[in-house]
Amino acid sequence: METTTKTAKAIYLDIKANPTRARFGFGSKAALVNVDPQKAYTRTDLFKTAYETDPQQMHYINTLATRFRALGWPVVWTHVAYMASGEDAGVWGTRTDTPDSLQNIKFDSVRSEFDDRLDIDRVRDAVYVKKMPSAFFETPLQSLLVWHQVDTVIITGGSTSGCIRATAVDSLSRGYRTIVPEQCVADKHESYHYANLTDLALKYADVLDVQEVLEWLNRQPAGSGQGQ
């Protein structure tokens, strides 16, 4: 095992600065999957489970979503919420049982609500409740991507070390080119955040500046998402 005295952030920045780093690249059509940008994880003023990495994260997500809709490409939002009993959290909900515990994000609670800063089109966009880390697990996401004939999945939200990583691994495993815009994901601690950005960049996804993602979207012809 290689050892180092560098921080997780320093290691990530070394990887990011490598001009020969190979990429999976963009395909021809993408879906935007926004993973759990809900108040339990975004409202640092209300909940100790929340976190913020880039203060412009919600703005960037909205900008991406607007461009996707203009192209006729799918926009997906996921959030977690559980029954009063918490039984649908399964074994994942058994380690703790406090007001801040995962299984106590109940349906119709403030913690389950999407961040108010987000522009969600409740008619145009797909909104899924998920129970486990990956946005693919027991949701209609895979079917939606097949219907739209996408080959690229762009992932935002949180946490980088949890649901973003799980969704990215599942995305790659299903054969999608997977993109993580760096400014659009967040985690509780910079060590977890940057360590997992490193792992994603080396193994499972292209971790890119959000501006590069927007530039690619801006080069796509209008109406390219019509007719699936």
* pLDDT for position 227: 45
Q: What is the pLDDT of residue 224?
A: 64
With beta carbons less than 8 A apart as the criterion, state whether 153 and 145 touch: yes
CATH C-level class of 8-12+22-218:
alpha beta
- What confidence tens digit (pLDDT) does each residue in 145-164 have? 999 999 999 999 999 999 99
Enter the tokens of residue 96: 């703790």
What is the C-alpha radius of gyration for the chain, rounded to an integer number of angstroms? 17
Q: How far apart are CA 8 and CA 193, in angstroms?
A: 8
Domain ranges of the chain: 8-12+22-218
Residue among 135, 163, 168, 213 flagged as catalytic = 163
What was the pLDDT predicted at 228? 47
The amino acid occupying position 75 is V
Residue 214: closest CA among 186, 185, 179, 177: 179
Show the low-confidence residues of the chain (pLDDT under 70). 223-228
| Residues 67/60, Cβ–Cβ less than 8 Å | no
- What is the four-CA torsion angle of 129, 36, 75, 215, rounded to 10 degrees? -170
Amino acid in position 87: E
**Distance between CA atoms of 63 and 17, rounded to whole angstroms?**
26
Q: Based on the residue annotation, tell me whether 163 is a catalytic residue of this protein.
A: yes
pTM: 0.96
Q: Nearest 5°: phi and psi at 126? A: -95, 130
pLDDT of residue 225: 63
Q: Are 74 and 149 in contact (CB under 8 A)?
A: no
